[in-house]
Every structure is written in structure tokens, then in C-alpha cells.
Structure 1
Amino acid sequence: MTEGDAEGRLVRPFTLTGGRTRPSRADFTLITTVTAVDPRPGRTPRGQPEHTRILRLCAEPVAVAELAARLDLPVSVVVILLCDLLEEGRITARAPHPVTRAASDLDLLQKVRDGLDRL
């Protein structure tokens, strides 16, 4: 997969990550919410235009999967770039709230089933 830059040249995804193929952290899943700390980013220390694009898109909270779709980049590449920004303190990452199954959920499902049976 290739990505075009502003001048129409093709840029391979591994060049965007400096040849790295694995993220430096395991903070990100597809549904992790990412938010820019500074919504109006200046120049990032790495000087990557993709970092700036990510910061712009993260002015409001956005999921990793949605961010990858908006950037038209593989999720693995976006996660590596997000790790850079997280380590630089430019973004925050919030894991999804775990879903727990309480007994009340099962009770509610039983009541719904009983109601449907009565129809």
C-alpha cells in the first residue's frame, strides 16, 4: 500500500515510521480514543507531516480506527505514529471502558424474552 504526498509522489508506509514495524507501546486498540493535548499543533519534533495531520484530526476525541480511515493509512502505521506523539506528550489516549456482565443484564434479557413469548 502506498500513500501520495502533497506533490503527488508515492510514499511507502514504512518510510512514515522510519522503518519501524512495531509500536513502542501497547496502549492502542482500534477503539482507543485519542485527543490532541494542543489542538493547534506547531511543528512536531520529528518534523513528520503525518504527525501534524494526526494532531489536527485529534482536536476532538477520535478512535484509532476512525483516525486510520481518515488518514487512509494502515492501522499499524497510525499506531506507531500515535506512540511517537504519546511519548512526546502531544496526545492523550483513553482506553475503552470495560464491559461487565452483571446479573441485572441477564434478568433484563429474561424479562424481554418472557415479554416476547407473551406476544
Structure 2
Amino acid sequence: MVRPYIRTGGRTRPTQRLGVETLISAHRHVRLDTPRLTADHRLIWLTCQTPQSTAELAARLGLPIGAARVLIADLVDLGAVRVHENRLTAEHRPPLELMIRVRDRLHDLV
């Protein structure tokens, strides 16, 4: 087992603001041959071929949310993934579709 601190290269703060519900998707025509990228970075990029939330990515990587945010932010900084702004309804609540998706993903974790 490798500690999250090691998997982030000792970094604890992401360069991007990423909520747990923030959706991330991969830029499909990006080369990931940068030596700085790890297996975790590549897994995030591959997983994000379909949009994933920060929380979903953390769960798939088996990492605390803070460590996942650091790794995701690396890919945002490189232009390999994009962050989708969260849309709120007129009542300043997330759309029902998002809430259903979160509920379903949480249920999958159980």
C-alpha cells in the first residue's frame, strides 16, 4: 500500500478549486507522455473519457478526496482534462439529474 502523500509527490494542496461534485472530462486528443505523469494521472484521464465527479475519481483511485484533487489539478494544469462548471437551478440547488447521479454512485459504493 502506498500512502496518498507519496502518490501526490508530497503535495497536499491542489492548484485548482475542485468541489466533490465538480465534473471532470478528458480532452481526447492529448498526448500523455509527460514524464511528470504517474499511473494515477493516466487512470484519471482514461476514466474521464466519460465525465466523472471529483468524488467518483477519488473513490476509483482509492484516495482521500484531497489527494485526488491534487492529481486532478495536475491534469487540468496540463490541459489534459477540463472542469465543467456546476450549474445551479433558480433555487440555487443542483439539478435533479445531478442529485440522482450522486445518489446512484453512492449506492454503487455500498
TM range (shorter): 0.7 to 0.9
1:12 aligns with 2:29: no
Ranges in structure 1 where 5+ consecutive residues have no aligned partner? 1-9, 103-119
Q: CA RMSD in A?
A: 1.9
Q: How many residues align?
A: 92
Partners of 1:38 and 1:44 in 2: CA distance: 16
Residue 72 of structure 1: how far off its partner (Å): 1.2
1:24 aligns with 2:15: yes
* Structure (1 or 2) with the larger CA radius of gyration: 1
Residue 60 of structure 1: how far off its partner (Å): 0.6
Match of 2:38 among 34, 45, 48: 48
Q: Show structure 1 runs of 4+ deviating over 4 A.
A: none
Deviations 1:4-55 (A, max 9, x none): xxxxxx21101111111111122x1011110010278643441311000101
Percent pairwise identity:
35
Matches within 5 A, 1:65-104: 65-101=55-91
Give TM-score scaled by structure 2 length: 0.74
Which structure is richer in relative contact order (CA contacts within 8 A, separation 6 or more)? 2
Partners of 2:84 and 2:2 in 1: CA distance: 30
Ranges in structure 2 where 5+ consecutive residues have no aligned partner? 93-110
Partners of 1:24 and 1:11 in 2: CA distance: 23
Q: Look up the SS of the partner of 1:55 in the other structure.
A: helix
